[in-house]
Amino acid sequence: MAFAVQSNKTGAPRTRRRPAHTGIAWLFLAPFAVIFVVFSAIPIISSLAISVTDMRSADLQTPFGVNFAGLENYVALLSDGNFVRAILNTLLFVVVGVPVTMAVGFALALVLNSGIRRFRSVFRGLFYAPVVTNIVSVALIWQYAFNQNGTVNEVLANLGFAGPNWLGDENLAMPVVILLGIWRNFGTAMLLFLAGLQSVPEDVQEAAALDGAGPWRRLWSMTIPLIMPTTLLVSVLLSVFFLQVFDEPYLLTNGGPLGSTESMALFTYHQFGFGNFGVSSAASFILLLIVAAVSALQFRLLRSRS
């Protein structure tokens, strides 16, 4: 919009052609615009609006008849031990999940890019398969595997250990849930790192090798600095994924036992299920702020690349 104002007011020499296709372009964009307004713009604005009301599910037919509650929902949330726990659980997801997912993805990308010559796309496909797989199916088998009498404990029993009830234990449930998150996402990290590595020029590597730099040295002093933009991008993308984590804890534990795996998104969903729309919106708005902060970084990265 900036250039339109500039050209209209001062008649300064235009550097761009006059927009010739405004009508037809918006016709092309109309389906997206309608869906965006109805399912993104209005919800984002009303999310904030609902969060300062006492709206409950009973108010659905008369959404404008609710009472203004100010910041009550926010104050109540931040003094609610369950919500604080959900924030801490979500941060644990990010702090553990993101680095491990990135490390696995990077190591695999490195090996697939320059360690082996054959079967690259076969391995790439196998490692990426979890990303495209339906999470409900997979969570079923994880539940089954980590049951008291499940496969994991069966294996442990054969080795002479008595396995715990993984998903029923306050301290052990979270690691299993995080593990599912890592399993599901490392393929994405691998693929993005592979794309990043392929942009590292071969001849630079060869020149360094001729100068006597060993493989580890080249990795530390050349490859890693050269793919820094990819690394940043992957870390932001994965942080946004893990901040919103819902499917894994919902399907494996539904947030239990005793709230030990409840994420912010799951807390929001549960409040929604209880009919507390106001509280649920306030919780989701706090999550939105956190994700927005991380996304702002992503946005800048995307812009600087294009």
Partner 1 sequence: MTSRLRPAVLYTALIVLALVTILPFIWVISGSLRTTSDIQANPGAWLPSEVTLDNFARLFSRNGFSTFLGNSVIVAIVIVIGNIIAASMAGFALAKLEFRGKRVAFAAVLIALMVPFSATFVPQFVVTVQLGLVDTLAGIALPSLVLPISIFIMRQFAASIPDELLEAARIDGANEVRIFFQIFLPLAGPAVATVTIMSFLASWNNFIWPLIVAQSADSYTLPVGLAAMSQAAQNVTDYGLVLAGAVIVMLPVLVLFLFLQRYFVQGIVSTGLK
Q: Which of residues 68-127 bind partner 1 (CB under 8 A)?
A: 108, 111, 115-117, 121, 123-127
Q: Which region among 12-20, 80-88, 91-99, 170-178 touches partner 1 (by CB under 8 A)?
A: 12-20
Q: Identify residues 205-244 at the interface with partner 1 (CB under 8 A).
A: 230, 233-234, 237, 240, 243-244
Binds partner 1 (CB under 8 A): choice among 83, 93, 106, 142: 142
Closest CA to 176 of 138, 131, 207, 214: 138
Q: Rule CB under 8 A: is residue 9 a binding residue for partner 1?
A: no
Shortest reach from residue 96's CB to partner 1, in Å: 19
How does 87-115 read in b/e, with b if 16+ C-beta sit within 10 Å?
bebbebbbebbbebbbebbbebbbebbbe
Shortest reach from residue 43's CB to partner 1, in Å: 4
> Positive or negative CA dihedral for 151, 156, 160, 164?
negative
Q: Identify residues 272-301 at the interface with partner 1 (CB under 8 A).
A: 272, 277, 280-281, 284-285, 287-288, 291-292, 295, 298-299
Please report how many Cα atoms fall inside a 13 Å half-sphere around the Cα of residue 150, on the Cβ side.
Answer: 16
For the chain, first and last CA: distance in Å?
A: 20
Number of residues that bind partner 1 (CB under 8 A): 103
How does 197-215 read in b/e, with b if 16+ C-beta sit within 10 Å?
beeeeeeebeebeeeebee
Binds partner 1 (CB under 8 A): choice among 12, 14, 43, 58: 43
Shortest reach from residue 303's CB to partner 1, in Å: 10
Residues 6 or more apart whose CB falls under 8 angstroms from that of 178 comprise 92, 93, 96, 97
Q: Identify residues 157-216 at the interface with partner 1 (CB under 8 A).
A: 183, 188, 191-192, 195-196
Query: Cβ distance 190 to 108 under 8 Å?
Result: yes
Q: Which region among 44-52, 170-178, 204-212, 220-228 touches partner 1 (by CB under 8 A)?
A: 44-52
Shortest reach from residue 125's CB to partner 1, in Å: 5
Place of tokens 């490392």: 186
- Identify which of residues 64 and 171 has a Cβ nearer to partner 1 in the complex: 64
Distance CA 23, CA 166 (A): 60
